[in-house]
Amino acid sequence: GKMGVAIAESCFLRGAAVLLVRSKTSVATRYDIKQIAFETADELEGILKREVKKYDVLFQTAAVSDFTVDNKTKGKLDSKKSITLMLSPRKKIITQIKKWNPKIKLIAFKAVFNNSEKILIKEGEEKLKESNADAVVINDVSKKDRGFGADTNEVFIVTRKGSKKKIPLAKKQDVAASIIDFLVMENII
């Protein structure tokens, strides 16, 4: 999405060799950045598994589905009949990254809904443990002026080292630059 592209562009403008892995339906970058588009969580997983060994840092900004559909139907569904879908939790891609490349610096993103700053930080710390990330960027996506689809964002960063930072509401490009600045200052990337 827009935040992932903003992060990729900020890294690119600082001279990094960037591979942007983005959804086929997401916004495109304004720069000549190498990119691979995906449609499904399984495609994303395959791309990351293949590419992660080639890079030093991974910003996992994609909001990957937590579930997969169990019941597969052949043919066309009858629109006059009800259908019940069975969903099963899918393996979290983020928990596989350090297994595929133990040396990579992993920056995870966590979207939460309508939580206080204290709870945001707590959820970020839990995501650090779950994903083995070096830092987690958390944002509350319940407000229209930030998160999914918006051009602005407000985030909190928590690191494995215990440091924390709030980046106030700003354009996503500015938020991305502030995230990079903080991670460099903290010697995380």
- The pLDDT, as a whole number, for residue 171 is 96
- Candidates 75, 108, 123, 96; CA nearest to 188 is 108
pLDDT for 11:
97
List the chain residues with pLDDT less than 50.
none
Cβ atoms of 38 and 53 closer than 8 Å: no
Distance, CA of 168 to CA of 155 (rounded, Å): 7
> In the chain, how long is the greatest CA-to-CA distance?
59
Write down the pLDDT at residue 181. Answer: 97
- Alpha-carbon distance 124 to 127, whole Å? 5
Per-residue model confidence as pLDDT tens digits over 150-179: 889 999 999 999 999 999 999 999 999 999
* Model pLDDT, residue 120: 87
Task: List CB contacts of 43: < 8 A, sequence separation 6 or more.
Answer: none
pTM equals: 0.88
What pLDDT score was predicted for residue 116?
Answer: 84
Alpha helices in 14-145 (DSSP H): 41-51, 97-100, 117-131
What confidence score (pLDDT) does residue 170 get?
95
Residue type, 86: M
The reported pLDDT for the residue numbered 25 is 87
b/e sequence 84-119, b meaning 16+ C-beta within 10 Å: eeeeeeeeebbebbbebbeebbbbbbbbbeeeeeee
Nearest to 12 by CA among 38, 37, 30, 36: 30
So what's the pLDDT on residue 148? 78
pLDDT at position 108 = 95
